[in-house]
Chains A and B, each alone.
Chain A
Amino acid sequence: MTTTTSHSPAIAAKGLRKAYGDKTVLDGIDLVVPAGTVFSLLGPNGAGKTTAVKILSTLVTADAGDLYVAGHDLAADPQAVRAAIGVTGQFSAVDGLITGEENMLLMADLHHLPRAEGRRTAAELLERFDLTEAAKKPASSYSGGMKRRLDLAMTLVGDPRIIFLDEPTTGLDPRSRHNMWGIIRELVSDGVTVFLTTQYLEEADELADRIAVLDNGRIAATGTADELKRLIPGGHVRLRFTDPDAYRSAAVALREVTRDDEALTLQIPSDGSQRELRSILDWLDSAGIEADELTVHTPDLDDVFFALTGGTKTSSTKTDGAKNGSTTTGSTKSDGAKTSSVSLPDQSTKETLR
């Protein structure tokens, strides 16, 4: 690694634009990723995440923008950028016709490693990614998780200092996903800069130092996970009733609440701390209110995401969220400003957004 990269950011983009025909995919985005950090580009399908990765990894040329990766101008010296980066795309970039080991040796040869070093690197990475046993089998016979691991192992040949991961866990089962997170954390502890795209808020929350929310080709917000969460009000305790009479009397007794008469639920603003919960419970006891269900909701990235990317759902569409109870967004909208609509992202509605 050259010394310049330790001072300048690993990735810097200013005014990045890309259009395919008359469809604008990236509409002037600015990004700065300091070296040695994890940056996550978060957004729904079609937001332009993959296009951003393709451009920054030299695969596609941008229409406009000052783009620097590893201190090199992307337009002027793509080959120098390529020497510094590793890319794992959304679709598996392994050669299915040859074995896992042969894939690794192919990468070693393309990085011009001496023969012995190439063999050693290949063996080490196969071992590290738990692929030693499958090394002699054709890559086409690998499971989805194994292919991803081989893909990433191939990316790490040549020891790139900046790694692009385009939706590295999409389509993986929960165990494989957690394994992948562990691998990514290891990379970061080695000082590698990671540029990650994901549509999973949890993933960005888990891994990223900084997150940019991409929506419709623009950066809707950027910051740490906590900073983004602070953008959105909405921590609350939710009380659900089955008896309409109990609901009505509770609603009258508790004035400072948001009512949902259809779902028979009440929302009390709260930061979710133990102290506040106890005082709410005491209050409910003294008022003689007994709810059928009580859930605590703290704002998470889901709320931020739906608020920023203009989620189209409203709380009145379904009551599933109330039953599900755990991930309800509550924008109380007391200020009457243009707050995004409230969403009830139960599992099925979240799926449709992905």
Chain B
Amino acid sequence: MNALSLAVRDSNTMLRRNLLHARRYPSLTLNLLLTPIMLLLLFVYIFGDVMSAGIAGGGADRSEYIAYIVPGILMMTIGGTVIGAAVSVATDMTEGIIARFRTLAIHRGSVLIGHVVGSVLQCVASVVLVGAVAMAIGFRSTDATALEWLAAFGLLVLFSLALTWIAVGMGMASPNPEAAANSAQPLILLPLISSAFIPADTMPGWFQPIAEYQPFTPAIETLRGLLLGTEIGDNWWIAVVWCVGLAALGYRWSTSSFNRDPK
């Protein structure tokens, strides 16, 4: 068996193991879904009238605010779902099973690749679920072409991959699952200080750079543009650079800590 087919085969085995975990114990994934759905309903139905006053010069109604907020909520869903990856990696690393995997003649990276692919698939499923809730309360894209839908899907997958590698790195660096959940918390909080809920240019001037220079804002703006036809500008390539950079960083971080001698 050559190296690549070994890698694919072992990673696939590890992926099936992780999906089996997710299927047996769905509560972790479902809990992580609660936050974005709750925020979506909260912001639309409770804060919606006030929030929409800040959109489009104050003339927006509720449906326009739904349209504004959904791309951010979808990205936030990804941020939440990858916390699950951090927790399950940390759980694995505290168990003896990892020592067993390390002494098998399998592809070295397959343990982490299995986690990453599993997490990306879970992100896609979560985004579809949250998207369905958004559709149910009235979200509609405005004339997005098939190509734009495809690009939106690609962006969501790329963003999931980037955040997952970071989350896996956090899971590897954490001494236990609880610590992993804590250190991955920023991934679901970061959207709150992005342009997810209100436009960045309505924020206080000193705060705008914080909202501007982080991965969520360009990714959200790009998704918004693809689905709703708003101005994308430079955001698409900034988002791609963020994603590739985070994925590479998380990959290096995770694999180097995995390859280090266990204690």
Residues on A lying within 8 angstroms of B by beta carbon are 54, 57-61, 79-80, 82-83, 85, 87, 89, 91-98, 102, 106, 109-112, 138, 154-155
Contact = CB atoms under 8 A, between A and B. Distances in A.
B105 A89 contact: no
Interface stretch (B17-25, B72-80, B198-206, B230-238): B17-25
Given A98-B17, A106-B13, A110-B10, A87 B262 contact: no
B125 interface: no
Given A59-B102, A60-B262, A93-B96, 9 more contacts: A54-B262, A57-B103, A59-B262, A85-B103, A87-B99, A89-B100, A92-B96, A94-B97, A154-B100
Contacts of A58: 102-103
B143 interface: no
Contact of B13 (A57, A83, A109): A109
B96 A110 contact: no
A3 B97 CA distance: 31
Which applies to chain B's interface (DSSP): helix, strand, loop or mixed? helix
B103 A95 contact: no
Contacts of A95: 17, 95, 97
A98 B20 contact: yes
Contacts of B96: 89, 91-94
Contacts of B97: 93-95
Nearest to A147: B96
Interface in B193-230: none
Interface residues of B, number: 23
A85 B104 CA distance: 8
Interface in B97-115: 97, 99-106
A253 to B, nearest CB: 61
B9 interface: yes
A110 B97 CA distance: 13
Contacts of A59: 99, 102-103, 261-262
18 contacts: A59-B99, A59-B102, A59-B262, A61-B261, A80-B105, A85-B103, A87-B100, A91-B96, A92-B96, A93-B97, A94-B97, A95-B17, A95-B95, A96-B95, A97-B21, A98-B21, A98-B24, A110-B101
Contacts of A106: 13, 17
Given A61-B261, A106-B13, A93 B100 contact: yes
Interface string B1-30: 100000001100100110011001100000
Contacts of A82: 103-105
B102 to A, nearest CB: 6
Nearest to B17: A106
A81 to B, nearest CB: 8
A112 B9 contact: yes
A102 B102 contact: no
Given A97-B21, A97-B25, A112-B1, A79 B105 contact: yes
Nearest to B6: A112
Nearest 9 Cβ contacts at the A-B interface: A93-B96, A93-B100, A83-B105, A82-B105, A91-B96, A109-B13, A87-B103, A60-B261, A57-B103
Contacts of B1: 112
Contacts of B105: 79-80, 82-83
A75 B24 CA distance: 39
Contacts of B99: 59, 87, 89, 91, 93
A102 B20 contact: yes
A97 B261 contact: no
A93 to B, nearest CB: 4
B24 A110 contact: no
Interface string B85-99: 000000000011101
A80 B105 CA distance: 7
Contacts of A138: 24
Contacts of A92: 96
Contacts of B17: 95, 98, 106
B228 to A, nearest CB: 41
B186 to A, nearest CB: 27
Nearest to B1: A112
A112 B16 CA distance: 14
Nearest to B94: A91
A155 B96 CA distance: 13
Most buried by B among A60, A85, A110, A112: A110
Nearest to B92: A95
A96 B102 CA distance: 18
